[in-house]
A and B are shown apart, each in its own frame.
Chain A
Amino acid sequence: MGQITLQGVQKSFGPVHIIKGADLDIADGSFVVFVGPSGCGKTTLLRLIAGLEDVSGGKILIDGRNVVDTPPAKRGLSMVFQSYALYPHMSVRGNIGFGLKMAGLPKDEINRKVEAAASTLNLTPYLDRKPRELSGGQRQRVAIGRAIVREPKAFLFDEPLSNLDAALRVQMRIEVTRLQKQLGTTAIYVTHDQVEAMTMADKIVVLNSGKIEQYGSPLELYERPANLFVAGFIGSPKMNFVTGEHAKQQGAATIGVRPEHLKIERDGGGGWQGTIAVAEHLGSDTFLYVDAGPLGMLTARYIGELSLHAGDRVSLLPDSARIHRFDESGNALRR
């Protein structure tokens, strides 16, 4: 079991208020990703759950029990650090088995479990090496092995893949997701990589300067962002925002249209007129950055190749069913 609930969790470092009251319900077995810009408090929130920092206010419940006064060792969670944080003086075997040793398991049982974990992670040939004799990806696996072998209530990951190169990152992303589904253990995963967030999460928590902006499934966040921040943060390239006359016509202060929801037509059609400033041809997609005069710069995405070039005039037609409307304070208006 690993159900985690936050109730009004706050954290200040001295006079600085970092986490401003977080409420969250994480279901047992789900994969929850914290995303947000740098410095918004993702790591801090994760460390509060881990017990590595003390809360300044609020409650953290694990399986219904308030753990704010429980030391990290007793919370039954395991953590994978961005820096891996392997014990440099211990072999891979010692690293993975350390938690079991602390729990007082007999030697042969530790060995059995360590070997099982190592074989899941393809680490068997390296069991007797020291961490410094491993590559970055292998170290990362050891750190994950150390987390899974203890069969914790939940895994906490703090940007575990950010030190790996792009190809390995994709591979590990898939492996971590597969492993989590296979074990059925609750996971909280911090990242600022959108693609990781969208692909790995059952549910995403979008954080912005210490506040939870929205909590929902990836598609919910994509289709129904709760406010301007989430709308701008989720989706790549970023959503286009238009204010003024066009927004007023829709009864909103700001309207937002995703680049993929703008229909591109050669000059002369209806919609928003503009000149292409930059055209990016990726083969699979075409991205157009269009200078639309009073509307500002707009980004449009076409699936496939579109032979338009910088300087061409185009008109962009927003898909009326997929226009997002926001009020003055930036909150989404529902139809």
Chain B
Amino acid sequence: MARMATTRRVVVSTAAAWLFGFLIFFPILWMVLASFKTELEAFAIPPSFLFFHWTTENYATVQERSDYFHHAMNSIIIAGGSTLIALLIAIPAAWSMAFSPTRRTKDILLWMLSTKMMPPVGVLVPIYLIYKSFGLLDSCIGLVLILCLGNLPIVIWMLFTYFKEIPRDILEAARMDGATIGRELVYVLTPMAIPGLASTLLLNLILAWNEAFWTLNLSTSNAAPLTTFIASYSSPEGLFWAKLSAASTLAIAPILVLGWFSQKQLVRGLTFGAVK
């Protein structure tokens, strides 16, 4: 009896998980399919699901009209650069807050998070003007800087929670075992923190890769990453759904591949603390 009930529960929850997964995946699937349709089929009603004229012509047009590799390179520089710099700043910050907290540590953490509560558009004008006078508009450095600053609170929060989970006792045991601070770092803390560091890095990379507000507003062509590349196909003058889909598919492909291979780290990162 009990076993039957559990079997049924497993079946139901598995089905629900698949359904939910499919719902979330559907827009991406739709986009990929649309990218292989002709412009007419792309917005035909009723839409055809699989039986249309498969074509790769959109991809050819997109590559011809705008240089995918130029934008992809910018995306890599901007997402990678901002993530690395954010980690370099966040590691010592989270470290000190986790291992030698003061009375104000909690407040500082909340204050940092509060900066994420303000809509970015609220500071668009001042940032734009500052960037203009410093000549940072449409430059990779400028975008690296703004994305790094924008994601820093989240990176620090994530790392802080990981470091917090490392039991103090273990670090103290290392100290009793004669390890200096440097060796404690190398032999004990870092190996224990690596999963957390990896998932923070991955998540931040994805966030920065997909960031569209600042990249769209602060770049035009030189430093324009893939988000700008996509946006150039959603022009108000005409409907280019198929080409837009092709551009989007190209833009998310690298990060999708990266995400696929690092699923385990990502899941662990996002459920840290809940699952051990």
Contact = CB atoms under 8 A, between A and B. Distances in A.
A185 to B, nearest CB: 15
Contacts of B178: 73-74, 99, 102-103, 150
Interface stretch (B46-54, B90-98, B183-191): B183-191
Contacts of A73: 175-180
A47 to B, nearest CB: 8
Interface in A81-111: 81, 83, 85-89, 98-99, 102-103
B76 interface: no
B167 interface: yes
B-side binding surface: helix, strand, loop or mixed? helix
A72 interface: yes
Interface residues of B, number: 17
A85 B173 contact: yes
Interface string B207-227: 000000000000000000000
B192 interface: yes
A74 B121 CA distance: 55
Contacts of A81: 169, 172-173
Nearest to B166: A88
A52 to B, nearest CB: 5
A270 interface: no
A297 B175 CA distance: 51
**Which of B169, B180, B188, B191 is packed against the most chain A CB atoms within 10 Å?**
B169
B28 interface: no
B183 A79 contact: no
A71 interface: yes
Contact of A72 (B175, B187, B188): B175
B98 to A, nearest CB: 17
Contacts of A50: 176
A87 B176 contact: no
B176 A77 contact: yes
Nearest to B103: A14
Interface of B: 167, 169-170, 172-180, 183, 187-188, 191-192
25 contacts: A50-B176, A52-B176, A72-B175, A72-B176, A73-B175, A73-B178, A73-B179, A74-B178, A78-B176, A78-B177, A79-B172, A85-B169, A86-B173, A87-B174, A88-B170, A89-B191, A98-B174, A98-B177, A98-B179, A98-B187, A99-B176, A102-B177, A102-B178, A102-B179, A146-B177
Interface of A: 50, 52, 71-74, 77-79, 81, 83, 85-89, 98-99, 102-103, 146, 150
Given A74-B178, A102-B177, A150-B177, 19 more contacts: A52-B175, A72-B172, A72-B176, A73-B175, A73-B176, A73-B178, A73-B179, A85-B167, A85-B172, A86-B170, A86-B173, A87-B174, A87-B192, A88-B170, A89-B192, A98-B179, A98-B187, A99-B176, A99-B177
